[in-house]
């Protein structure tokens, strides 16, 4: 089995891949992050890991973004896609990551085709092996070897973005649920503060009970994502309503009252 977008979650915790970290990292730190990706991917696939290198392509390879070199068994990625001044690609979340995924898949294909007989079998393997393949052919991008690698790279790039957004949303919101207000005859109100300089806001979710686990709600009903949509002023799908809290309002929970007054700078909590 080879790596696909479905396994992107095994890479999403690599800190340097996150946009804010990537932009402030050196080319070598970025290369190390991509090497860690290759290490994890190869372990998942059950093949040897290949070294990731920053390449200065020239001659007939000048316009290459990246390549897998079968002779040196290295994954080479153009230097243009490293550092904070790297060329931007509007079609990619992280172009260097996308290239890494594509060339890593070529490393898998090469290992299956030329190094370990029987490592990967089936019709897809037969197409890789039996259909003539020449990288210098103008139509080589239509070959099954290339189509497979490019499709996986594109979907994994999208999946990485989704993993990071989900993680960021969850971290941002789940720690800032202030209280759950019981309201006789009505759905409970969940009070959330999105940032220190924002007033807490109240949300009702049909069917939510004070004893319910927020983590379960998040998993079963995209709770966090829907709250994020409401925060951004977008039209949220589902049975949600919003209410802005007054500065002096108190919220009653099962155990005790939570003051959600906005504290003035320097004011001590009573």
pLDDT score of 89: 73
Largest CA distance in the chain: 77
What are the structural domain ranges in the chain? 5-171, 176-259
pLDDT score of 170: 55
**Cα(92)–Cα(33) distance, rounded to whole angstroms?**
17
pLDDT score of 204: 66
Q: Which two tokens stand for residue 22?
A: 């990537």
Task: Return per-residue pLDDT of the chain as tens, 270 residues.
Answer: 999 999 999 999 999 999 889 988 999 999 999 999 999 999 999 999 999 999 999 998 888 999 999 999 999 999 999 976 565 677 889 999 999 999 999 999 999 999 999 999 999 999 999 998 887 888 888 999 999 999 999 999 999 999 988 877 655 443 356 666 666 777 666 666 655 556 666 666 655 555 554 443 432 334 444 444 444 433 233 333 334 333 333 333 322 223 322 222 333 333
The answer to whether 49 touches 79, Cβ cutoff 8 Å, is: no
**DSSP letter string over 199-263?**
--EEEEETT--TTS-HHHHHHHH-HHHHHHHHHTT----SSEEEEEPPTT-EEE-SS-EEE-PPP
The percent of residues in the chain predicted with pLDDT above 90, rounded, is 49
- Give the predicted TM-score (pTM) of the model: 0.64
pLDDT score of 245: 37
Neighbours of 161 (CB within 10 A): 17
pLDDT score of 60: 86
Residues 6+ positions from 228 with CB-CB distance below 8 Å = 169, 172, 173
**Cα(261)–Cα(139) distance, rounded to whole angstroms?**
65
3-state secondary structure of 37: helix
Query: What is the separation of C-alpha 127 from the centre of its chain, rounded to a whole number of angstroms?
Result: 31
* pLDDT tens-digit readout, 48-84: 999 999 999 999 888 899 999 999 999 999 999 997 6
Neighbours of 113 (CB within 10 A): 17
* pLDDT tens-digit readout, 194-213: 555 566 666 666 555 555 54
Q: How far apart are the first and last CA of the chain?
A: 59
């Amino acid at each position: 089995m080879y790596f696909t977008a479905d396994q992107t979650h095994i890479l999403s915790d690599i800190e340097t891949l996150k946009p804010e970290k990537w932009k402030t990292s050196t080319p070598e730190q970025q290369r190390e992050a991509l090497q860690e990706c290759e290490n994890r991917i190869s372990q998942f696939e059950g093949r040897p890991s290949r070294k990731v290198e920053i390449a200065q392509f020239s001659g007939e390879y000048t316009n290459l973004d990246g390549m897998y070199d079968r002779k040196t068994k290295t994954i080479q990625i153009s230097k243009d896609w490293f550092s904070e001044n790297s060329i931007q690609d509007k079609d990619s979340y992280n172009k260097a990551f996308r290239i890494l995924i594509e060339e890593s898949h070529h490393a898998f294909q090469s290992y299956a085709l030329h190094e370990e007989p029987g490592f990967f079998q089936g019709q897809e393997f037969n197409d890789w092996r039996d259909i003539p393949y020449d990288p210098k052919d103008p139509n080589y991008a239509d070959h099954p070897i290339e189509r497979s690698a490019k499709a996986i790279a594109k979907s994994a790039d999208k999946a990485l973005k989704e993993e990071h957004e989900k993680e960021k949303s969850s971290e941002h919101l789940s720690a800032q649920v202030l209280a759950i207000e019981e309201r006789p005859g009505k759905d409970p109100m969940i009070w959330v503060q999105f940032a220190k300089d924002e007033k807490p806001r109240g949300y009702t979710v049909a069917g939510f009970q004070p004893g319910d686990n927020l983590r379960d709600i998040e998993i079963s009903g995209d709770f966090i994502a829907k709250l994020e949509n409401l925060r951004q002023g977008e039209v949220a799908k589902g049975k949600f309503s919003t209410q802005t809290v007054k500065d002096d309002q108190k919220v009653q929970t099962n155990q005790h009252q939570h003051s959600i007054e906005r504290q003035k700078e320097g004011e001590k909590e009573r």
